[in-house]
Amino acid sequence: MNDIIIGGKGAPTPVEPGKAAKEESGAQTPFGTVLKQTIRDINNLQLKADQAIAKVEVDNSASIHEAMVALEKADISFKAMMQVRNKIIEAYQEIMRMQV
């Protein structure tokens, strides 16, 4: 089930408070880059689910079980992405309500 995690990187590693998570190269990854890559990964899961369903419907070459697993992975990833989007919007709205 590790590939259900957004980004498909496996289980998250604990980070000490006050320290940012860094890639293997040692440089921090910009938030925008992480967001774009995550959206691409979720889109790829959606496309794989569509392909699996098409194989079952048209070719009868894949099992229904595999298609349903691919569909559920895509669905869970999409729902998680929507929750992250909602939190980002809430944070933006909270910042906009702050008085300067």
Residues 63-92: tens digit of each pLDDT: 889 899 999 999 999 999 999 999 999 999
Q: Which of 10-19, 30-39, 80-89 has the lowest mean pLDDT?
A: 10-19
Residues 6+ apart with CB under 8 A from 49: 67, 70, 71, 73, 74
The pTM assigned to this predicted structure is 0.64
pLDDT at 25: 56
**Tokens 């590939």 identify what position?**
3
Q: How confident is the model at residue 58 (pLDDT cuts 50, 70, 90)?
A: confident
